[in-house]
């Protein structure tokens, strides 16, 4: 990211063997679970540093939880955070981050679209002193043309409207230093637009390019409608420009109206009243009516966000936390 102070290369970090927490959200991912643990555990064991995996079950309706528990039973390094229902990826990630203990936390998609093999490289960057190491897709070839175009449009719009630019083609795949995780935890907002929050947080950050493979099993939970709403959420959470722009639209329209009104008065005084004018009247009424409704809609969008924030509901609710010690006891917690 631009405009961020340089990294701090500390001797302790370079030599450290930090506890690495992997945080992965699971929503109906039964088909990939075995492969997920196979790959991730392989990578983690090769790192030669302590690790844990926090799996968040985001209210899955298939066998996801059952399979996760099977793996957790056989490996005490795996913790399952079971949410009370589906809260969405952003909330699930927040739950996972809150449950993590690592000096370093890596956010990873369950569907293996974020290659775990990159973790080593990310950790090396962290040792160099970077606090945030984020994956950047080298290409979006695995996405459809429409998705690529809409994604591009979104980044352009977002970065034009906000002060803290968000790097293009990033996902949530990233490594975070504990300090960043703690600061993120302190942000009080309910609308967790993660990518935007990371950009807002700053800290010394660096990109690691990677090729994003297609989804191996199942299908993306993101429909275009969901993506559109997600984009709106991101924009309205980080910019008030859509609200402010109406002042200028109003000013411009008023100014034009004034000029046109003067012309009409002048013409009436000189040439007298002429009745026809239905078409122009309708055009003006409909046009202004439309503009007013749009501006009301934008205000409503923000009002809705204020409403959600004011209610102060938790971002997620934990049903149970499953962590099996080697003697197979289920230590349950129920914090929120």
Strand pairing partners for 20?
51, 104
According to the binding rule CB under 5 A, does residue 114 interact with Mg ion?
no
According to the binding rule CB under 5 A, does residue 111 interact with Mg ion?
yes
Beta-strand pair 170-177/104-107: antiparallel
Polymer length in residues for the chain:
336
Q: Which region, judged by CB under 5 A, interacts with Mg ion, from 103-111, 145-153, 243-251, 306-314?
A: 103-111
According to the binding rule CB under 5 A, does residue 58 interact with Mg ion?
no
According to the binding rule CB under 6 A, does residue 26 interact with ligand UDP?
yes
According to the binding rule CB under 6 A, does residue 92 interact with ligand UDP?
yes
Of 21 and 113, which has the nearer Cβ to ligand UDP?
A: 113
Of 27 and 324, which has the nearer Cβ to ligand UDP?
A: 27
According to the binding rule CB under 6 A, does residue 55 interact with ligand UDP?
no
According to the binding rule CB under 6 A, does residue 233 interact with ligand UDP?
no
Binding positions for ligand UDP, 201-230, rule CB under 6 A:
215, 220-222
* Other residues' Cβ atoms within 10 Å of the Cβ of residue 241: 13
Which ranges of the chain does DSSP label H, i.e. alpha helix?
11-15, 33-47, 64-74, 89-99, 119-128, 145-161, 178-186, 194-201, 224-238, 241-271, 278-311
Nearest approach, Cβ of residue 107 and Mg ion (Å): 13
Distance CA 175, CA 178 (A): 10
Of 151 and 284, which has the nearer Cβ to Mg ion?
A: 151
How many amino acids of this chain bind Mg ion (CB under 5 A)? 2
According to the binding rule CB under 5 A, does residue 113 interact with Mg ion?
yes
DSSP 188-208: --SS--HHHHHHHH--SEEEE
Listed residue (7, 71, 85, 9) closest to 40, CA to CA? 71
Of 103 and 111, which has the nearer Cβ to Mg ion?
A: 111
Compute the chain's Rg from CA coordinates.
Answer: 25
Distance CA 186, CA 289 (A): 43
According to the binding rule CB under 6 A, does residue 89 interact with ligand UDP?
yes
Residues in contact with ligand UDP by CB under 6 A are: 25-27, 29, 58, 86, 88-89, 92, 109-111, 113, 215, 220-222
Residues in contact with Mg ion by CB under 5 A are: 111, 113
């Amino acid at each position: 990211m631009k405009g961020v102070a340089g990294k701090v290369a500390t001797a302790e970090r370079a030599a450290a063997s930090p506890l690495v927490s992997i945080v992965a959200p699971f929503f109906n991912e039964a088909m990939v679970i075995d492969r997920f643990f196979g790959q991730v555990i392989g990578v983690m064991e090769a790192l030669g540093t302590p690790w844990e995996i926090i799996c968040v079950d985001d209210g899955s309706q298939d066998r996801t939880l059952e399979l996760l528990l099977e793996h957790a039973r056989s490996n005490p390094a795996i913790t399952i955070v079971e949410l009370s229902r589906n809260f969405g990826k952003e909330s699930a990630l927040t739950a996972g981050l809150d449950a993590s203990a690592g000096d370093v936390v890596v956010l990873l998609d369950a569907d293996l679209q974020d290659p775990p093999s990159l973790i080593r490289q990310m950790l090396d960057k962290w040792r160099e002193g970077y606090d945030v190491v984020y994956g950047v897709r080298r290409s979006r070839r695995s996405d459809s043309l429409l998705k690529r175009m809409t994604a591009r449009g979104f980044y352009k719009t977002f970065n034009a409207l906000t002060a803290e630019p968000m790097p293009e083609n990033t996902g949530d795949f990233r490594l975070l230093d504990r300090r960043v995780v703690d600061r993120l935890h302190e942000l009080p907002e309910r609308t967790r637009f993660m990518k935007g929050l990371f950009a807002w947080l700053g800290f010394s950050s660096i990109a690691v390019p990677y090729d994003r493979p297609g989804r191996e099993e199942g299908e993306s939970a993101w429909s275009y409608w969901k993506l559109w709403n997600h984009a709106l959420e991101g924009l309205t959470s980080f910019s008030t420009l859509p609200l402010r722009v109406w002042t200028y639209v109003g000013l411009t329209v008023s100014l034009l109206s004034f000029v046109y009104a003067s012309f009409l008065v002048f013409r009436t005084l000189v040439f007298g009243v002429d009745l026809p004018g239905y078409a122009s009247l309708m055009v003006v009424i409909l046009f202004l009516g439309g503009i007013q409704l749009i501006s009301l809609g934008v205000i409503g969008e923000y009002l809705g966000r204020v409403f959600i924030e004011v209610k102060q509901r938790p971002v997620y609710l934990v049903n149970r936390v499953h962590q099996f010690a080697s003697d197979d006891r289920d230590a349950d917690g129920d914090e929120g």
